[in-house]
Structure 1
Amino acid sequence: MRVHVIDQGNRRHFADQLDQHHRLRHDIYIGERKWRALRGSNGREHDQFDLPSAIYLLALTEDGEVAGGTRLLQSTEPTLLGEVFPHLADMRPYERAPDVLEWTRFFVAPRFREEGRLCQTGGLVSAAIIDYCLRSGVRKLNAVGETYWMPRISSLGWRPRPLGLPISHDGMSICAWTIDVTEYALQTTLRAYELEASRLALPSNGRPDPMDQRRHRTFA
């Protein structure tokens, strides 16, 4: 399994995988977690931040099934923190710059979750987030999420800094934080999940790498 970077340059090569990802987002965020603020269409979840500039990191099996993933947004464009939850940053300012991204929509598909241990698919995606940012010259990640994420990512060595106090929203406790992207965070994440290295697959000149030229089958 590898984590593939899907952006404007190679998106057409991963149309089936992006569709799977939107179906999974619907099943997880609307079906399982009951996020009432979200709206689905035809069994898929999209929001106003699924812009052409959005970057998706998707963990794919060899036959093209989406096992997990996340989304990264350009902080200089509309983001969840900037447009919907700016009041979550009432104690500390945050940056919006070309080398700052916003991290959103982390998930692991149900059949790839592991009870009683750290989920390896989640670890692959987590390591890929930091690895991608390091390779791309990204200095910081901003994020809005449920408050329980703070101790989770702290345990990975990500050292999140809260931007304000948690609030109750839609039946959840949520907060905002920022993270410095460091080699230390990558190495501690790899150690936490007992991974020898990141499995990030970067696009090359707008094309998938050679292992992706195989035919992917579509999953409903």
Structure 2
Amino acid sequence: MIHIINKHNRHLYLSVLADMFRVRHQIFVEDRGWIKLANDNGLERDQFDTDETIYFLKLDENQKILGGMRLVPTLCDTQLSTIFKGWCDFKPAPQAQDAYEWSRYFIADKKYRSPAGYPVHYELFFAILEFAVYRGIRSLSGFLEAITLPRLNALPWKVEYLGNMITYGGTHGEPKGRGAAVQVSVDKRMLRLTKRLKGIKKPYFAIPLGEAAPARPVAFGPELCFQYLDFMEEHPDHTDALIAASKLWVDANGEDRKTFSVFFDNMAAQEAMLGFGGANSAKLAGHNYSLTLQ
């Protein structure tokens, strides 16, 4: 399943994010030879890994990282507005509230296939596209390796080149490569055509609660996942209280669990009053509301 990690639920994914930075170091530094990104602590992170960065990670049932990508708002510094600015020689990279840059795309397990037969990169592409449409993001840009571009061209996406194909590297020990700065325009029609082409009903997302999520993976559709994220952003104290109580419940005895059951019922009622309940509860579980699912 795809996990979406932002500044509002990042504290629930601390060990996962540490693993992600280690995997990135393994892939980009040790395997691909980007020595400029090397770090003695074995973690690969740069100036674009900020509080505003949104991470999309494909995790298995044991929270092993299979692949990932990040989105950076273009009103912040991005690769195309700073270090790769000169590679946008056709037109500048977009900088707007509804424009994001994607980068640090990696696949840690190339053998993986979803139940529908999709490899990791398609699941990540589908997830980011769903997220962009829901959040009103109209533009995704980034510098993509030449090997990745055919995958985009195979999809019904509006891809615009911001500059010529560039051959880079080889001057300071880094690997040589080719790629181009591109921009993808996003809209609902593009999402609909992509789903139709690939026969996708809906990509499934994980509950965005990190290590506090149920031991048994629970997957659901994009809309409900994004509603979770919105709710957690708007009511952080509510979410933290529920997670703290859930951890205590695990070690509680029978009598104490009865007390916690009352607490969870009250939390569910509060969530319903806060706008997350009612019709949503049937999609999650017959008697639960939103975050009380866990």
**TM-score band (shorter)?**
0.7 to 0.9
Say whether the 8 Å CA contact 1:74–1:102 is kept in structure 2. yes
Match of 1:216 in 2: none
The CA deviation at 1:111 is: 6.1
Residues 146-157 of structure 1 mapped to structure 2, 5 A cutoff: 146-157=145-156
Which residue of 2 is the match for residue 49 of structure 1? 48
Q: Is the 8 A contact 2:5 2:54 kept in 1?
A: yes
1:173 matched residue in structure 2: 178
Instruction: Quickly say closer, same or farther: Cα 1:173–1:182, change in 2 above 3 A.
Output: same
The question of whether the paired residues in 2 share the 8 Å contact of 1:59 and 1:125 is answered with yes
Residue 87 (structure 2) aligns with: 88
CA deviations over 1:187-216 (Å, ceiling 9, x no partner): 444456554312234323145975995xxx
Give ranges in structure 1 of 5+ residues lacking alignment.
214-220
Q: AA paired with 2:177?
A: M
**Residue from 196, 199, 203 that aligns with 2:204:** 199
Structure 2: runs of 5+ lacking an equivalent = 170-175, 206-224, 234-238, 244-289
Aligned residue for 1:218?
none
Larger Rg: 2
Query: Residue 113 of structure 1: CA displacement?
Result: 4.1
Q: Secondary structure at the match of 2:35?
A: coil
Q: Number of residue pairs matched?
A: 209
Secondary structure of 2:232 counterpart: coil
Q: Which has the higher contact order (CA 8 A, sep 6+)?
A: 1
8 Å CA contact retained: 1:123, 1:193: no
Q: Distance between the aligned counterparts of 2:127 and 2:82, measured in 1?
A: 26
Give the residue type in structure 2 aligned to 1:122. Answer: H
Q: CA RMSD in A?
A: 2.3
Residue 39 (structure 1) shift:
2.2
Instruction: Write out aligned runs for 1:32-43 (5 A).
Output: 32-43=31-42
State the 1:78 CA deviation: 0.8
Q: For residues 84-138 of structure 1, give each alpha carbon's deviation from its aligned partner in whole angstroms, at most 9, with x where no partner exists.
A: 0111111123320111000101112136546xxx752222111001001111110
Greater per-residue strand proportion: 1
Distance 1:191 1:49, change over 3 A: same
Normalised to the residue count of structure 2, the TM-score between the two structures is 0.65
In terms of fraction of residues, the more helix-rich structure is 2
Matched-pair identity in %: 28
TM-score, normalization by structure 1: 0.85
Change (3 A) 1:212 1:105: farther
